[in-house]
């Protein structure tokens, strides 16, 4: 195999890859990565992520996302917001279940 030295342009390009996204160099999706992404992109105030795949192999996840950005949005739009946020990650996930709540809904649900 022939390898060429890394040029300044390619070094800069490699450094500019977003560390919070899935790249060709790291195709694994973790619960922590999903949680961090949802908190950052949707200003989520509470996130629960469970790896529901056998042997915890990161093939399927169940998430609960509580965000003020869901206020006055129908369920389908909320789910689309989550799917857009995790578009790259969802390419690598076999199954994805989500529950989306506003902070008020979350508070009401937990007071019962």
Q: Which domain holds residue 93?
A: 26-106
Are 68 and 46 a contacting pair, CB within 8 Å? no
> Is residue 19 in some structural domain?
no
State how many domains the chain has: 1
> pLDDT tens digit string along 55-102?
878 889 999 999 999 999 999 999 999 999 999 999 999 999 999 999
Q: Tell me the pLDDT of the chain averaged across its residues.
A: 83
> Is residue 4 in some structural domain?
no
> Is residue 1 in some structural domain?
no
> Is residue 99 in some structural domain?
yes
pLDDT above 90 as % of the chain: 66
CATH number of 81's domain: 3.30.300.90
pLDDT reported for residue 58 = 80
> Is residue 61 in some structural domain?
yes
pLDDT reported for residue 107 = 96
> Is residue 15 in some structural domain?
no
């Amino acid at each position: 195999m022939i390898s060429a030295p890394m040029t300044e342009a390619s070094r800069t390009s490699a450094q500019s890859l977003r560390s919070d996204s899935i790249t060709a160099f790291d195709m694994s999706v973790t619960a922590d990565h999903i949680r961090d992404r949802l908190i950052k992109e949707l200003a989520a105030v509470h996130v629960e992520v469970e790896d529901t795949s056998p042997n915890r192999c990161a093939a399927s996840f169940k998430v609960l996302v509580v965000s003020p950005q869901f206020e006055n949005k129908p369920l389908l739009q909320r789910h689309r917001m989550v799917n857009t946020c995790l578009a790259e990650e969802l390419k690598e996930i076999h199954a994805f279940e989500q529950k989306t709540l506003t902070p008020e809904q979350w508070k009401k649900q937990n007071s019962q």
